Amino acid sequence: MFTGLSGRLEEVFRRLRSRGKLTEENIREALREVRLALLEADVNYGVVKDFIERIREKAVGETVLQSLTPGQQVVKVVHQELITLMGGSQSKLTMASQLPTIVMLVGLQGSGKTTTAAKLARRLQKDGRRPYLVPADVYRPAAIDQLKILGQQIAIPVWDSNPTAKPLDICREAVAAARSRGHDVVLIDTAGRLHIDAAMMQELKLIKQEVAPHETLLVADCMTGQDAVNVARTFNEELSLDGVILTKLDGDARGGAALSIWSVTGRPIKFVGTGEKIDALEPFHPERIASRILGMGDLLSLIEKAEEAISVEKAKELEKKLREESFTLKDFQEQLQEVRKIGSVDQILGLLPGMGGMKKLHVDEKEFVRIEAIINSMTPAERENPSIVDGSRRRRIAQGSGTQIQDVNRLLKQFAETRKLMKRFVQGGKKGKLGGAPWLLR
């Protein structure tokens, strides 16, 4: 996400930082390039104009120009203004004091409302909530069935909507049922249209008036750029939104919608979709996104992802094996699987400071598949003790995994080097410094 914009900005600020002293002309030249980068990223023109002006006012001041590191100071100003541009701080869901909290999802057809409803339900479920899904889209074929299937996959109940019933009746009855069954959050998946029309808006207004949702959230496809911003403006004028959920952010190299919505509508982005999996919905943190855009990484998000993906019990078990030097190829395979739960290697690198802009670094995800195939083709004894893998065994393993003998040799060499590295790491921590040792495991 934001790769195009991030690359351009990193280059601009690299040149600024390389100068020992900055002049107003240096800053004006840099800001012209920033302005072009933002416009090419499909950021709203008015938003770009105000953004650049605010930076100019702060960057040409005496505090920046006379500082020992003027280039760094300009980056600091841009970082803070980017945070402000996206709302300043994380905006969370408002939970009602009297349950259930009702969340109404609205948006155009194709924006991903139904999938997002399930993703949001899954996130709330992981937070200890008891969500209830309501399929109120009686117009799109199979929309009700789609939500029921998604609900089954994540073990969350779905109201048994009658396709012939009116959306307003469905919502009224479903909310009453959720309240009587003790659910604390109701997520209503409303119908969309291919474009905004008066009939759709009137129906949504009636539902909102009847069920009085605590949160009305627009689901918008950020890949549509300024169209998503215009849709957000219209929906906000008609329905008075409480926030926005942007889908497909992982596939958006520009990021214009994410950088424009708050300034144009005054409504915060609350969540972003970052993939197709049911868990791929993340809270929107303006300060973290700003850091990613400027190539500063996002270690907090990386740590949170790792904590979600890898259990403490497994980390402790692995630490014990490292201490006892009983780490096997089977453990090696499990660790690769744990890391892959966090995300692709490219996604992980993008969260590390200074790594997001490494365009020349290409990681072949198929290598993980080859490694697993090789390990799966070994016998239990070979996984426990790779030293017994001689020439004939290597040929058998290569044939069974559909790889080359060289691939098997490379894996065995990598594993041996990994064990040596871990052995040195453990020995260095035996005096009580290992502590939560495997930060790389959690």
Kindly report, residue by residue over 30-71, the tens digit of the pLDDT. Answer: 888 989 989 988 888 899 999 999 888 887 765 655 655 667
Residue 222 lies in a domain: yes
- What tokens were used for 339? 């890391």
Query: Final residue of a domain: which of 250, 284, 318?
Result: 284
**Domain match, 349 and 236 both:** no
Q: Tell me, what CATH number does 31's domain have?
A: 1.20.120.140
Distance CA 355, CA 338 (A): 21
Distance CA 268, CA 92 (A): 9
Q: Which residues does residue 216 pair with via DSSP β-bridges, in sequence order?
A: 104
- Give residue 185's pLDDT: 95
Question: Is residue 373 within 8 Å of residue 402, measured between CB atoms?
Answer: yes
Strand arrangement of the beta sheet that strand 243-247 belongs to: 131-135, 185-189, 101-106, 215-221, 243-247, 269-273, 281-283
Distance CA 159, CA 174 (A): 6
Structural domain for 37, as ranges:
3-85
Residue 433 lies in a domain: no
Strands 269-273 and 281-283: antiparallel
**Domain match, 253 and 170 both:** yes
Nearest C-alpha neighbor of 263 from the set 58, 92, 105, 51: 51
Distance CA 13, CA 33 (A): 10
Residue 19 lies in a domain: yes
**Domain match, 279 and 131 both:** yes
Sole residue written with tokens 């100003």: 77
- Give residue 289's pLDDT: 85
**Domain match, 67 and 105 both:** no
**Domain match, 263 and 353 both:** no
Count up the domains in the chain and report the number: 3
**Domain match, 64 and 127 both:** no
Q: Tell me, what CATH number does 396's domain have?
A: 1.10.260.30
Helical segments of 250-404, H only:
256-265, 286-293, 299-309, 312-324, 329-342, 345-350, 366-376, 380-384, 391-401
Residue 230 lies in a domain: yes
- What tokens were used for 346? 């490219």
Nearest C-alpha neighbor of 344 from the set 288, 302, 407: 302
The three state secondary structure string of 212-271 is: CCCEEEEEEEHHHCHHHHHHHHHHHHHHCCCEEEEECHHHCCCCHHHHHHHHHHCCCEEE
Residue 75 lies in a domain: yes
**Domain match, 211 and 65 both:** no
**Domain match, 81 and 203 both:** no
**Domain match, 81 and 105 both:** no
- What tokens were used for 5? 């914009």
Strands 269-273 and 243-247: parallel
Query: Final residue of a domain: which of 284, 316, 346?
Result: 284
- Give residue 156's pLDDT: 94
**Domain match, 315 and 376 both:** yes
Residue 295 lies in a domain: no
**Domain match, 146 and 253 both:** yes
φ/ψ of 37, rounded to 5, equals -60, -40
Q: How many residues are listed for the chain in this entry?
A: 442
**Domain match, 410 and 315 both:** yes
Question: If the chain, 442 residues long, is cut into consecutive pieces of 10 residues, what is the mean pLDDT of each piece?
Answer: 78 78 80 89 89 86 60 82 89 89 92 93 93 91 90 93 87 93 93 82 92 93 85 91 89 77 92 88 89 67 59 67 73 74 59 49 67 91 90 93 91 81 60 39 34
Question: Is residue 99 within 8 Å of residue 179, measured between CB atoms?
Answer: yes
Distance CA 184, CA 139 (A): 28
Residue 55 lies in a domain: yes
For the chain, the C-alpha Rg in angstroms (whole number) is 26
Residue 414 lies in a domain: yes
Question: Is residue 259 within 8 Å of residue 78, measured between CB atoms?
Answer: no
- What tokens were used for 317? 């078990």
Q: Tell me, what CATH number does 140's domain have?
A: 3.40.50.300
- Give residue 12's pLDDT: 84
For 253-274, how does the pLDDT look when each residue is reduced to its tens digit (9 = 90+)? 677 888 888 988 999 999 999 8
Nearest C-alpha neighbor of 58 from the set 70, 47, 40, 46: 70
Question: Exposed/middle/buried for 98, CB within 10 Å: 0-12, 13-18, 19+?
Answer: exposed
282: left (phi > 0), else alpha (psi -120 to 50), else beta?
A: beta
Distance CA 93, CA 419 (A): 45
